[in-house]
Amino acid sequence: MKKIILIVFLIFCFLFVLLNIGSGDEEKTELEIELESLETEPTEPRIVIKDSGPEYKVFHFTVKVADGSYKVGDNANKISKNDAAFLNSLSKIPGVAFVRIEPYEVTIKRGGAFKWKEIEPNILKILLERFGEDKNKVKIISSEEAQSF
């Protein structure tokens, strides 16, 4: 008798789970609703520049600038055409020794014979293109100002 009750119970549980999987009628929790209503991008487009030692700078963005994480020398087959062009354009700037792009940041190493003030304007020109038509609205926050971020 116990075996029959156990089998009936297991069948009931299996049917309950089967009928409720993927029905799409699940109620959302308050947390899920709250998370959906949050703004995901800041209203002000900006680039925050942070020094990471004398030879490196990291440029942080409020918009997604790349689909993945890549550096110069990565296998071209795994990089989207858009990201490859972006990476390539940055690496061709005279004085840029290394580039790594990620969805919300770009890391650049300058060559030892160059000064940041010589290469940074060219870097920023290419980075601003990632903002599209909003590029003229972008606020650029320097290393000194970035201390508050």
Structure pTM? 0.68
80-88 contacts, C-beta under 8 A, 24 or more apart = 86/126, 86/130
State residue 115's pLDDT score: 95
CA–CA separation, 92 vs 113, rounded Å? 16
Task: State the sign of the Cα–Cα–Cα–Cα dihedral 88, 131, 54, 69.
Answer: negative
Chain segment 29-79, per-residue pLDDT in tens: 666 666 665 556 566 888 999 998 899 999 999 889 999 898 877 776 788
